[in-house]
Chains A and B, each alone.
Chain A
Amino acid sequence: MTTKKVDFETKLNRLNEIVAKMENEVLPLESSIALFEEGKKLITDLEAELKEAEKKLGEYQEIEK
Chain B
Amino acid sequence: MNKNEELCLTVTTFNELLKAKFDEDPDLQNVYLRGELSNFRIYPSGHAYFSLKDDKSVVSAVMWATYVQRLSFRPKDGDEVMIHGSCSVYPASGKYQIYVNFMQLSGQGAELLRLKELAKKLQAEGLFDESRKRRLPQFPKSIGLITAKGSAAIKDMITNIQNRWPLVDIYVFPSLVQGAEAPKDLLRAFKASQEYPLDVLIIGRGGGSSEDLSAFNDENLVRALASSKCPTISAVGHEIDVTLTDYVADKRVSTPTGAAIAAVPDKNVIFEQIDNAGERLVNVYGSKIKNYHERLSSLKNRPCLLNPKSIYEDQLKALEQAGERLTLAYANSLERKKSSISSFGGRLGALSPYGVLNRGYSILKDENGKTITSINDVKCGANIVSELKDGIILSTVKEMESGKHDN
State the A residues within 8 Å of B (CB). 8, 12, 15-16, 19, 22-23, 29, 32-33, 36, 39-40, 43, 46-47, 50, 53-54, 57, 60-61, 64
Contact = CB atoms under 8 A, between A and B. Distances in A.
Given A12-B296, A57-B285, A57-B289, A36 B315 contact: no
Given A23-B304, A36-B305, A57 B311 contact: no
B304 A15 contact: no
A40 B305 contact: yes
A29 B315 contact: yes
A36 B289 contact: no
Contact of A19 (B292, B305, B311): B305
Interface in B326-361: none
B311 A36 contact: yes
Given A39-B304, A43-B305, 4 more contacts: A12-B292, A15-B296, A33-B311, A61-B282
Contacts of A33: 311
Contacts of A32: 311-312
B300 A8 contact: no
- State the majority secondary structure of interface residues on A: helix
Contacts of A23: 302, 304
A45 B285 CA distance: 19
B299 A16 contact: yes
A13 B235 CA distance: 60
Interface of B: 278, 281-282, 285-286, 289, 292-293, 295-296, 299-300, 302, 304-305, 308, 311-312, 315
27 contacts: A12-B295, A16-B299, A19-B299, A19-B302, A19-B304, A19-B305, A23-B302, A29-B312, A32-B311, A32-B312, A36-B304, A36-B305, A36-B308, A39-B305, A43-B296, A43-B299, A43-B305, A50-B289, A50-B293, A50-B296, A53-B285, A54-B289, A57-B282, A57-B286, A60-B281, A60-B282, A61-B282
Contacts of A22: 304-305, 311
Nearest to B292: A50
A49 to B, nearest CB: 9
A46 B305 contact: no
Contacts of A16: 295, 299
A63 B308 CA distance: 43
A65 B285 CA distance: 18
A63 to B, nearest CB: 9
Nearest to A56: B285
A16 B302 CA distance: 10
